[in-house]
A and B are shown apart, each in its own frame.
Chain A
C-alpha cells in the first residue's frame, strides 16, 4: 500500500504568487485532512473532508486559502496569494471513520 501521497515535497515561491498542493489518500479512507505545521510546533488542522464534503473548515484562512476534494478521493489545497507567514509544512492525512489517521510526508513551502 502506497500510504498517503503528497506532492510536491518542496516548493519555493515568491510572496504574492499562487501555490497548490496535492494529496492522494489511502484507498478507501473516507476522511481527509489538511494540516499546517509551523517550525517547532505540532500540526494544526486547516480543513477536514468527509468524502467530498468539507465538514470542518473553521481554521482555514478563507481569504487566501481554498481546498477541494472532487469525487471524494484526492484533494488539492491552494494559497493565493502566498504571504511570508505561510511558510510551513503542509500535511495531508486520511482515516477511515475517524480512526487510523495516516499522514503523508508533507510539502515544505518556503515563501521568499
Chain B
C-alpha cells in the first residue's frame, strides 16, 4: 500500500499500552484544533477536536490536551490496538475574518507492536 510519510517522527508502542503524540502549533491566535488519523492509502480521518477555550477534551479511548501557554497539543490514546497504527496529524485553525485556514503539522507515525 501507499506510504504517506517516509521521514516522519515515529513512535512505537506495545499493544495495550497508552500512547502520547505531541504537536507544537505555530499561531497563538489559533482558535480550534483537530487531530487526524491517516492510514496508508486513505485520506485523513477526524479523531477529536478542541476549541481554544478548553484545555482538555475526551473521546472514546482518546484525550486531547491543549496548553496555550507553550502552544502545545497532545493526543493520548488509551489501550492501543493494532488498528491504531497510522500517521497522526494535528491541525490548527487560524481565524482570519471569515477566511480561516486549517494548517497541518508534519505528522507522527504510530506503530503498535503486537
Contact = CB atoms under 8 A, between A and B. Distances in A.
Contacts of A43: 44, 89, 104
B6 A40 contact: yes
Interface string A77-108: 00000000000010101000010111111101
A42 B106 contact: yes
Interface in B74-109: 89, 91, 93, 98-107
B89 A42 contact: yes
Interface string B1-42: 011111110000000000000000000000000101000011
Interface in A49-84: 55-56
A100 B45 CA distance: 11
A55 B98 CA distance: 9
Contacts of A4: 43
Given A56-B101, A101-B102, A40 B8 contact: yes
A39 interface: yes
B46 A45 contact: no
A39 B89 contact: no
B106 A41 contact: yes
A98 B36 CA distance: 16
Contacts of A105: 41-43
Interface of A: 4, 33, 37, 39-45, 48, 55-56, 89, 91, 93, 98, 100-106, 108
28 contacts: A4-B43, A37-B4, A39-B5, A39-B6, A40-B5, A40-B8, A41-B5, A41-B106, A41-B107, A42-B104, A42-B106, A42-B107, A43-B44, A43-B104, A44-B104, A48-B101, A55-B99, A56-B101, A91-B43, A93-B43, A100-B46, A101-B34, A101-B46, A103-B36, A103-B43, A103-B44, A103-B45, A108-B2
Across the A-B interface, give the 3 residue pairs with the lowest CB-CB distance, nearest first.
A42-B104, A103-B43, A40-B5
